[in-house]
Amino acid sequence: MEVTRLKDSVVLVEDLTKKYGDRTVVNGLNLNVKEGEIFGLLGSDGAGKTTTIQMICGILASSSGLIFVDGHNVEEEPDVIRSIIGYMSQDFTLYLDMTVEENIDFMADLRGIPHDDRERQKERLLRFSRMEPFRDRRAGALSGGMKKKLGLSCALIHRPRVLILDEPTTAVDPLSRSELWKILYEFIVQGITVVISTPYMDEAERCNRVALMQDGDIIACDTPSNLRKAIKQKVCSFKTHDINRTFKVLREDLSRDGQVFGDEVRVFMDDPAAEIPKMEKDLAEKGLSIENCREVDATMDDVFISSLQDRTDGKGKKVRMPFSEPPDVGPKSIIVSGITKQFGDFVAVNDVSFEIETGTVFGLLGPNGAGKTTIIKMLCGLFPPTSGRATVAGYDIKNQSRLVKSRIGYMSQLFSLYPDLTVGQNLDFYGSIYGIAKQEKKMKRDWVIDLAGLKGKEKNLTRELAGGWKQKLALGCAVMHQPTVLFLDEPTSGVDPIGRAEFWDAIYSFSEVGITTVVTTHFMDEAERCGILGLMSDGNLVAIGTPGELKRDLSVNFFEVTASPVLEAFNKLTALDFVQQGALFGDKIHILVDKGEGDITREILKAAGISVEEITRISPSLDDVFIYHITAGEME
């Protein structure tokens, strides 16, 4: 190994392979991570991210290849590697009966850190993570986001040279994710290098460079900006007044792949100038009109889908749903009027009202403890509201809960499948408990097999399936009886963008026949796909509308700032009186200011003592919308 190559790299991986018998889970991987980088490994469950990370940490032995961390051979110098690496696994280990401070102290003792050094580092970590007020709280009593921050603090207590994080933000709301990333940037400035894995494409925007992984291979590696520029096709977007029918015609009659994102449809095109007029003409012949069709910036989801399609030489399979129209429940399948739910003195849901049109995909967002699950349980007829009224599929949730349950489908975050039954046995079981006739059950069973891509795997045990297969199988089981309203809890966690696109194709095919879908999610790229969004905080519904409406209706302007060093500029910007919030995105800073302030220019920032390279007004993301509403509520 050449000394210069080791000197230039904090993490160097060459031709790394891991096999289990005949199965290759990591295939000839090459990585070169520079000092001070945040380097992302992106991909779905089963892509090889965790295996790669565990080999870099020395937890797993490789089948072949070389790994160096800070110039040290991982397999030959395990003790040195343990001293320079901080590692946080997906199932990070906290001692739930110990307090926040006791957990940090315990990890410091395991690392042999002298008392005075430990105390200084601990106080710094508690301050950075905003966990100081909770130092005496048991870890088991913390929210999900707080547990993640405590796990990160434990991984950082010995001042590692390299911090390696395996999906640290999964199931964490955007505000907590923003806080986690700010902690990372604080330590990047101090010379720590970060390698982070995630299944979520929007996380890529916060990394300096990313490697896209699929089936053990790296299919692309570069900065997020360069990856977006490199995709072969253009991305175009348009609006339409009949989104379900337009989407169906695009898919089935025009053989064009499209994805619904809120009140818009996005499509890939080779030549937008030629293809847009033809698509408009073809849709017009079907009695459909579209508005404002134009080329838009590619997202990291687009990058991943494009890269995977290059490998598979084709698009995902479209499976037509064999359902007839559900019973007519009128124009609105969910009507909620002032429902409140109290548990003793605790108000979990506070005077919430909304109405959902039949066939709509409705997203319910909010941080942990916001009241989302409580609302879903009430709407499913699992327990009555303390006050207020609601109807689901035409039935009162309080007085007709049994009838409500007969008209709904539900898919939980844990898939609602029986792991010790085969794929076919799960389908037969659900078909039987729903009372589906024998001939109809066979037709719907075959449809679910096609939907989930499980042809030939009917006799496989469900527990042996990959995450994406399980999720599509669970979705099929939840709708075999053709519910009027479908409830989905975090439905696509860990599935790659093509799998998610197919999953959402199915959801919108349900919408076409009048099934209303309610989706709970922490992740904003999921939220973008919903027709209507409701944002909850502390039991209150603080905003409702289409994704586009929620972005347009904010009373603030957003700007993207390029400056160096980025964290120093971030701290200065967020200290300004007219800057309400700030967030870090890789080497960029997003700030928001009141609309009354007008445009913020380089000259204005220079006068405030901040030298920036570039400042541009940008459209807010749903992450920005979420953080704005949640922090605004906290400040009231």
Domain assignment present for residue 7? The answer is yes
Q: Which 3-state string (H, E, C) describes 436-504? A: CCHHHHHHHHHHHHHHHCCCCCCCCEHHHCCHHHHHHHHHHHHHCCCCCEEEEECCCCCCCHHHHHHHH
443-457, 459-473, 611-625: lowest mean pLDDT where?
459-473
Domain assignment present for residue 320? The answer is no
Q: Based on the domain organization, do 472 and 529 belong to the same domain?
A: yes
How far is residue 330 CA from its own chain's centroid?
A: 33
Bridge-based pairing of strands 346-357 and 332-343 is antiparallel
Are 321 and 270 within 8 A, CB to CB?
no
Which of residues 315 and 11 earns the better pLDDT score? 11
Domain span at residue 250 reads: 232-297
Residues 230, 176: Cα–Cα separation, whole Å = 32
Answer whether residue 314 shows pLDDT above 50.
no
Domain assignment present for residue 292? The answer is yes
Q: To the nearest whole number, what is the mean pLDDT of the chain?
A: 86
| 277, amino acid identity | P
**Nearest 5°: CA angle at 398, between 356 and 531?**
15
Q: Based on the domain organization, do 530 and 593 belong to the same domain?
A: no
Which H helix or E strand runs over 574?
helix 566-574
Domain assignment present for residue 313? The answer is no
Kindly give the residue spans of alpha helices, DSSP state H, lying in 222-365.
224-230, 243-252, 272-285, 300-312
Final residue belonging to a domain, choices 492, 513, 544:
544
Domain assignment present for residue 361? The answer is yes
Kindly give the residue spans of alpha helices, DSSP state H, lying in 58-171.
78-84, 100-110, 115-128, 144-156
Q: Based on the domain organization, do 508 and 607 belong to the same domain?
A: no
| pLDDT tens per residue across span 29-86 | 999 999 888 999 998 777 899 999 999 999 999 999 999 999 999 999 999 999 999 9
| pLDDT tens per residue across span 346-401 | 999 999 999 999 999 999 988 877 889 899 999 999 889 999 999 999 999 999 99
Q: Based on the domain organization, do 271 and 373 belong to the same domain?
A: no
The model's confidence at residue 180, banded by pLDDT at 50, 70 and 90, is confident
Q: Based on the domain organization, do 338 and 481 belong to the same domain?
A: yes
Answer whether residue 3 shows pLDDT above 80.
no
CATH number of the domain encompassing residue 105 = 3.40.50.300
| pLDDT tens per residue across span 404-421 | 998 999 887 666 788 899
Answer whether residue 201 shows pLDDT above 80.
no
Nearest CA-CA partner of 485 in 354, 380, 336: 380
Domain assignment present for residue 506? The answer is yes
Q: Based on the domain organization, do 445 and 371 belong to the same domain?
A: yes
| pLDDT tens per residue across span 532-570 | 999 998 899 999 999 989 988 888 898 999 988 777 888
Are 530 and 511 within 8 A, CB to CB?
no
Radius of gyration of the chain (CA): 25
Number of domains comprising the chain: 4
Q: Based on the domain organization, do 209 and 355 belong to the same domain?
A: no
The model's confidence at residue 326, banded by pLDDT at 50, 70 and 90, is low
Whole-model pTM over 0.75: yes
Final residue belonging to a domain, choices 251, 279, 297:
297
Which H helix or E strand runs over 197?
strand 193-198
The model's confidence at residue 316, banded by pLDDT at 50, 70 and 90, is very low
Final residue belonging to a domain, choices 242, 277, 297:
297
Q: Based on the domain organization, do 250 and 216 belong to the same domain?
A: no
CATH number of the domain encompassing residue 247 = 3.30.70.270
| pLDDT tens per residue across span 211-267 | 999 889 999 999 998 999 888 889 999 998 888 788 888 878 888 877 888 778 889
What the block records as the tokens of 584 is 């870090």
Q: Based on the domain organization, do 356 and 290 belong to the same domain?
A: no
CB atoms within 10 A of CB 104: 23
Domain assignment present for residue 71? The answer is yes
What is the predicted pLDDT for the residue at 315? 46
Mean local confidence (pLDDT), 120-140: 90
CATH number of the domain encompassing residue 560 = 3.30.70.100
Q: Based on the domain organization, do 159 and 250 belong to the same domain?
A: no
Q: Based on the domain organization, do 125 and 269 belong to the same domain?
A: no
What percent of the chain shows pLDDT beyond 70?
92
Q: Based on the domain organization, do 222 and 238 belong to the same domain?
A: no
Domain assignment present for residue 513? The answer is yes
- The Cα-based distances of 171 to 198, 450, 474 in angstroms read 11, 29, 19
